[in-house]
Chains A and B, each alone.
Chain A
Amino acid sequence: MAKKKIKLTDISKKPDQVLLPLDMSELETLPANAGGGETITPLTDEQKTRWEHNLDGISVLNLPKPKTKEEEDELVRKFLGGLEKLLSKENNWTFLLPLKMSLEYCGKCLACNEACPVFVSSGGQDIYRPTYRSEVLRRIIKKYTKHGRAMFPGFTDGNIELNWATVARLAELAYRCTLCRRCAQACVRGVDNALINHELRKLFSEEMGIAGEALHTKGTVQQLNVGASTGINPRAFADIVEFMEDDIEEKLGRRIKIPVDKKGAEVLLIHNSGEYVSWMQNPEAFAIIFDLAGIDYTLSSELGGYEGTNYGIWYDDLQAARIFLKHTQAAKNLGVKKIIAGECGHEHKAMIVIGDRLLTKDMYVPRESCFPLLEQIVFSGKLKLDPKRNDFPVTLHDPCNYVRAMGIVEPQRRVLRHIAPQFREMTPHGVTNYCCGGGSGFAVMSPSKGFVDWKMSISGRMKVKQILGAFKDDLGPGKHNYVCAPCSNCKGQIRDLIAYYHLREKYGIYYDGLVELIVNAMVDMKKPYIEWE
């Protein structure tokens, strides 16, 4: 079947029709006969009646359909108002400069398109080009806004019609990009289509109150109100710590005390709270390693002190700043010398990079990644390690947020080369890695079955291809192949990909973090730390 060609101007046409009915036969093929039967679960008739889904038949935002033409017009007017604000320094001082430059200087060469895993995995669908949404937005700005209006917009920038269909499709389209920024790496001029997408999400959130429910209501709002996006409150956190101490005692053969709220400790360690809920072995492994290495650290039970996530960096600067300041306040209250981010990619980026210029002198606390410290501990000889305990194929997933966006590439690799004799790289890896497909919040978003299918079959497809490629000579049922994914959200996505493609049953593929492998190599452990079942 010939691929449907979609023009930029089509975004405003035929509002009652789906712009791109997804044809799964066009997807990029996977090696080792993986995949092949992917489908996108359609919305129910009732959902179709209620939610906008005219982009690709999928609903991420569960955007209610306006009931009247007046309502539509009001939403379009609001969108335009938000666009004006996005282009003004009083409203958007945080990213105005990179946004303006990225809007102004795209050469429309499309060289970035092939760098995008979503575009490539989808079989090259026009609407998933990193340039598609940016170009639509650029044309709207040039034609309809005061701040960015061109003198002869149709002539210099091309035409576009702004109506509710355009706005609704753009809103959904803002959630078809994982913000991995491979496209920005590919651009000769430095144009950052991922940033434009980030700004588009921001406009919808900060002006229109439209954002993924898992990111906003159940994400940042819950985190600010309850303490964690997972819903863990300070009381529950205390119970979890106690449970971890019991669990460690069982595994290690002795009880260790996990320090909480220790005033004046050297380090405040903050994990993604998803670890406490889904992968408790991860914070437990940190506790074991730090205890044996004699690190003077503490966890915090303060609201904002035990949850490292900051979904705000994906859609809303204000929410991001609020959460970031909670983290630094928790550190200030304990009087620690620094904060260390656990195995969570976006926590790293939010806390160490994005928040950096939000700190005045009196709020400043140094922040660093856990990986250099883990490397130092591993090579210090403080842990007795036997790499033979990790004598199975291991590959490393590079989380975009601290690899491409922070340049933390080698510490985790040096550890793996030391403790995992069969370590091998994915292709490509390091700063040119592919996103797991769960980036920008997708890993925690399940607003409709169709979107879950989409992130498994399209946004995560390239990662599946890479994983199968890394283990190509070791695939098979009953094998033990380990994907080291030192990032909470990436782990969530990889866990779901393994289940979706039956990678465990068919190819013996497992996943977990880096600290689990370190502890697994420790001769002090009575039994293997990694549980393969």
Chain B
Amino acid sequence: MDSFSLIVTIFAYVFVVVAYYVKVQKYFKMPLNLRWELYPIPHEKNYKYGGSYFEEIEWWNRPRHKNTLRSVLTLIKKYLFMGSYFEKKRWYWVGLYPWHMGFLLIVLFDGLVLFDAIFIKAGDWVISGSAGGGGEFLYYFTLVVGLTSFTIGCMGSILMLLFRTFNRELKEYATPQNYLNYIFFLAMFGSGWVAWAIDDNTFTGFREFWVGVLSLDTVSVGSWEYIHIVIFAAFLIYLPLTRSTHYITKILYFLWIQWGDTPNTGKGETDPKLQEYLNYEPKWSAAHHQTGKTWGERATRLPEKEASKKDTGKSK
């Protein structure tokens, strides 16, 4: 192996972490939006039928029930099963689910190989099918995760490509990037599969490669393993340029917006933020906006023309 795969791998990992951080961080800097929740909300006591604390009289005087564990479990369920697709669009789920699981598993596979390498390097572990104990477990676990990822990833990529090509509706909404993605990801999963079938059906090469990465040494691997390592690094670099951030932002969206039912209790916790927003000077041009005034001034004072029209004929 040349140093290229070593450098590109290290670069890819640094890049993906930094790029994701930058992309996600911008959402943390955005203003607190007005409430826009949508039921059912998993942390609510009456989640089963979509109920909320608004069903109680003087809810602001009652202790607030919040089942955070159920929210976490609901999110995990969404990631692991994609049940909504299964219920609403099952034929699509048949392609999307293996594709999606392929990604999760290939990341897990990569993590496992790194994990294996750490044990090999730091603890002189032997990781093989006959090592016994933890070494044998890690060997088989890594093997199963890797093979499953490559197999279902290939299957998912092909099915998604076919769906986007032959289904009129999906094709209409597809972009050239979608097709590139399916082909690129097929190459990534496929190269892993071929590397296993031709070069090394124990994944020992990948482990040795990672031992080399940890030592900053170049290590010789099979040619298909080499191809897969480079494609996977390219995949990591490419990921932030796709919509894949949704794996992270989805959590934020649910927690902050769809399930964001934290009420204003009137104690002024959000007042500093709100004061900042009320001091913004919007530039909207419609007549009912008042140029030069802050958001707060506009909300509390009517335009003079409208204010002068007010009916003051209150009954005596």
Binding site for B on A (CB under 8 A): 5, 7-8, 78, 81-82, 85, 89-91, 93-98, 100-101, 104-111, 113-115, 126, 131, 135, 154-158, 181, 184-190, 192, 195, 205-209, 216, 221, 224-227, 233-235, 237-239, 301-303, 316-319, 321-322, 325, 338, 352-361, 364-366, 368-369, 371-373, 376, 402-411, 430-431
Contact = CB atoms under 8 A, between A and B. Distances in A.
Given A89-B280, A209-B286, A234 B313 contact: yes
B167 to A, nearest CB: 9
Interface string B235-266: 00000010101100110111011100101101
22 contacts: A90-B281, A93-B33, A93-B280, A97-B32, A98-B257, A115-B88, A188-B85, A189-B246, A192-B257, A207-B285, A225-B306, A319-B288, A360-B275, A365-B266, A368-B58, A376-B57, A405-B37, A407-B40, A407-B46, A407-B52, A407-B55, A431-B39
B258 A7 contact: no
A261 to B, nearest CB: 10
Contacts of A5: 168
A489 B110 CA distance: 56
- Max chain B C-beta neighbours (<10 A), residue from A110, A190, A369, A408: A190
B304 interface: no
A226 B312 CA distance: 8
Given A7-B172, A105-B246, A155-B175, A188 B78 contact: yes
B274 to A, nearest CB: 6
Contacts of A82: 284-285
Contacts of A158: 173-175
Nearest to A93: B31
A91 to B, nearest CB: 5
Nearest to B79: A188
A192 to B, nearest CB: 8
B201 interface: no
A216 B253 CA distance: 31
B36 A95 contact: yes
Nearest to A158: B175
B215 interface: no
B96 interface: yes
Contacts of A90: 280-283
Contact of A303 (B37, B241, B275, B311): B311
B38 A372 contact: no
B34 A95 contact: yes
Contacts of B241: 156
Contacts of A353: 35-37
A206 B257 contact: no
Contact of A190 (B56, B59, B250, B264): B250
B60 A366 contact: yes
A90 B89 CA distance: 39
Given A96-B33, A234-B311, A105 B249 contact: yes
A409 B284 contact: no
Given A85-B283, A186-B88, A233 B40 contact: no
A155 B246 contact: no
A302 to B, nearest CB: 8
A104 B243 contact: yes
A21 to B, nearest CB: 20
B277 interface: yes
Given A97-B32, A226-B310, A302-B314, 15 more contacts: A81-B285, A93-B295, A101-B253, A157-B177, A185-B38, A188-B78, A207-B286, A225-B302, A238-B315, A318-B284, A322-B300, A353-B35, A372-B57, A407-B46, A407-B261
A109 B280 CA distance: 37
Given A105-B243, A221-B306, A366-B266, A405 B174 contact: no
B85 A301 contact: no
B81 to A, nearest CB: 10
Contact of B50 (A224, A411, A431): A431
Interface string B42-72: 0010100111111111111000000000000
- Max chain A C-beta neighbours (<10 A), residue from B55, B57, B250, B261: B55
B101 to A, nearest CB: 14
A205 B286 contact: yes
B133 interface: no
B266 A225 contact: no
B30 A108 contact: no
Contacts of A100: 27, 30
B176 interface: yes
Given A188-B78, A407-B51, A97 B37 contact: no
A126 B51 CA distance: 34
- Give me the 8 closest cross-chain CB pairs, A-B, nearest first: A407-B52, A364-B266, A431-B50, A361-B268, A238-B315, A93-B31, A108-B173, A407-B39
A142 to B, nearest CB: 10
A224 B306 contact: yes
Given A227-B311, A410-B51, A89 B31 contact: yes
Contacts of B46: 407, 409-410
A96 B245 CA distance: 18
B287 interface: yes
Given A321-B299, A368-B58, A98 B36 contact: yes
Contacts of A364: 264, 266
Given A90-B282, A186-B88, A357-B274, A409 B264 contact: no
B268 A110 contact: no
A85 B315 contact: no
A235 B280 contact: no
Contact of A155 (B34, B55, B89, B177): B177
A165 B253 CA distance: 33
A353 B34 CA distance: 8
B310 to A, nearest CB: 6
Contact of A431 (B31, B34, B49, B88): B49
A157 B174 CA distance: 8
A130 to B, nearest CB: 12
A225 B173 contact: no
Contacts of B130: none
A154 B256 CA distance: 31
Contact of A369 (B54, B264, B281): B54
A178 to B, nearest CB: 15
A190 B258 contact: yes
Contacts of B195: none
B31 A318 contact: no
Nearest to A131: B173
A405 B34 contact: no
B277 A93 contact: yes
B13 interface: no
B260 to A, nearest CB: 9
A208 B284 CA distance: 9
A10 to B, nearest CB: 10
A208 B283 CA distance: 12
A302 B168 CA distance: 57
B57 to A, nearest CB: 5
Contacts of A207: 284-286
Contact of B176 (A155, A238, A365, A366): A155
B147 interface: no
Contact of A105 (B37, B58, B85, B245): B245
Contacts of A205: 286
A32 to B, nearest CB: 28
A234 B310 CA distance: 11
